[in-house]
Amino acid sequence: MFSITICTHNRCTLLKRMIASIENQSFKNFEIIIINDHSKDNTKDYLNTLKKNTKYIIIHNDSNLGLQASRIKAIAQAKYEYIIQLDDDDQMLPYCLENYNKILTKNNYDFINTNYVINQSIKNHSNHNFLIKEYDDFNNLPSNKLHPKSIWSFVIKKKIVQSIYKNDLIKIDYGEDLVFISNLYKISKHFATADFNSISYTKNYNAMTNITKFNSKTINEFIMCHCYIASIWGKNSMVTNFINHVTLNWRYSFFKIIEKKISKNNLINFKSRFKDLYSDFDYDLNQKIFPKIYPLSRSYILNQKSNFLKVISN
C-alpha cells in the first residue's frame, strides 16, 4: 500500500530511531526505500544488516547528491500507489499508516495532509477519532493549512510525485519542500486534510535549515526557494501575496543573520531579488485583508512587521 522513502546522511542514530517507528506501525503493508547519501559514519554498516528483509530497498550513493536528487532516486524504486517522503530526523507516530489506510480505502485522494509535532515523544500519542475535510482548490484551504512547512506530513499518490519531479524544478536542497508543495497544490485536483498527528520532527538536530550554518550556496538557495512561489502562482496572486506577508518576520531574521557574512555584490543581489518580488506589494492593504480572509491566523498575521520591506528598499 505505502512506499516510504527515507533520505539520510551521517545521522545513523536518528535513522535507527526513524526506522523503529515505522516497524512499530500497527499497519504492516509497506516498503521502506532508504537512500544513503554518501554517509561517512556507520550508516552503511547498519543498513547492510537490513538487506535480508524484503521490505527494504537500500541504495548507497557513490557521492553526496543532496536531498532533492536522492528523493527523486528513491521514487524511481517505489512500487506502491502512495508515497510517504521522510527524512532521518523524523519519527512516525504509531497509528499513522493505519489512519492513512482507513481514509484511502474509501477515497481516491491525490494526497492527504495531516498534522505533525515537533520534538515530542511518539509514546505520548495514541489513536483517536479525527475529522477529514475534502478540497479541490488550494484557495479553499483553511488558514492553518495554507502554508504547510514540510512534506513529511503528507501521503501522496505516486503518479503525482512523479509528475512533480518531472517538472522543471529548481535544483536546491534548502527549501526543496517549499518548491515541492508549490507544485503539489498546483496540480492536485482532489485532496483532503486529516486532523491527526502523523509525524514527530526533531528540530535543529544538525538541520540544513539551521540558518546559523548558512553558506553562500544555501543563501542562494534561500533566495531561489522563497521567490519560487511567484513563478508557480503568479507574482501578485493571492497565494503569493499571502505567503510573502506571513513570512516577513522570518525573512527579516534571516537577512539580519547573513547581511554581514556575504559580499557586497551578493547582498545587492539578495536585496534586488526580493525587492522585485515585493514590487506592487501593499503591506497596509494586506494587513487589513488577510485577517478577514483567514480569521484563524489573525493574531499571526497582525504580528508580521514591515521591517523586511524596509531593508530591501535601502
Could you write out the three-class secondary structure of 108-119? CCCEEEEEEEEC
Interval 80-88 mean pLDDT: 95
Band of pLDDT at residue 286, cut at 50, 70 and 90: very high
Task: Write down the residue that cell numbers 530591501 correspond to.
Answer: 312
**Integer Cα distance of 150 and 116 in angstroms:** 10
Q: For position 171, what pLDDT does the model report?
A: 85
**0.85 cut: is pTM over it?**
yes
Closest CA to 197 of 82, 99, 87: 99
Interval 183-205 mean pLDDT: 88
Q: How many residues does the chain have?
A: 314
**Integer Cα distance of 26 and 33 in angstroms:** 19
Q: For position 106, what pLDDT does the model report?
A: 93
Is pLDDT of 294 > 70?
Answer: yes
Q: Which three cell numbers stand for residue 220?
A: 542562494
CA angle, residues 136, 141, 146, in degrees to nearest 5: 125
Band of pLDDT at residue 234, cut at 50, 70 and 90: very high
Interval 192-215 mean pLDDT: 75
- Give yes or no for a contact between 174 and 225, defined as CB atoms under 8 angstroms apart: yes
Closest CA to 151 of 83, 207, 211: 83
Interval 102-128 mean pLDDT: 90
Q: For position 149, what pLDDT does the model report?
A: 52
Please tell me which residue, 65 or 143, carries the higher pLDDT value: 65
Please tell me which residue, 269 or 145, carries the higher pLDDT value: 269
**Integer Cα distance of 298 and 105 in angstroms:** 36
In sequence order, the 6+-apart residues with CB closer than 8 A to the CB of 226 are: 175, 178, 247, 251, 274, 277
Helix (H, G, I), strand (E, B) or coil at 36: strand
Q: What is the pLDDT of residues 25-55, one digit of tens each?
A: 999 999 999 999 999 999 999 999 998 899 9
Is pLDDT of 208 > 50?
Answer: no
How many CB atoms neighbour CB 302 within 10 A?
Answer: 12
Is pLDDT of 201 > 80?
Answer: yes
Backbone angles phi and psi of 6, in degrees to 5: -130, 125
**Integer Cα distance of 224 and 314 in angstroms:** 21
Q: For position 100, what pLDDT does the model report?
A: 97
**Integer Cα distance of 65 and 233 in angstroms:** 29
Please state, for a pLDDT cut of 90, what percent of the chain lies above it. Answer: 65
**Integer Cα distance of 66 and 237 in angstroms:** 31
**Integer Cα distance of 110 and 185 in angstroms:** 10
Arithmetic mean of pLDDT over the chain: 90
Task: Write down the residue that cell numbers 531593508 correspond to.
Answer: 311
Q: For position 204, what pLDDT does the model report?
A: 66
How many CB atoms neighbour CB 134 within 10 A?
Answer: 11
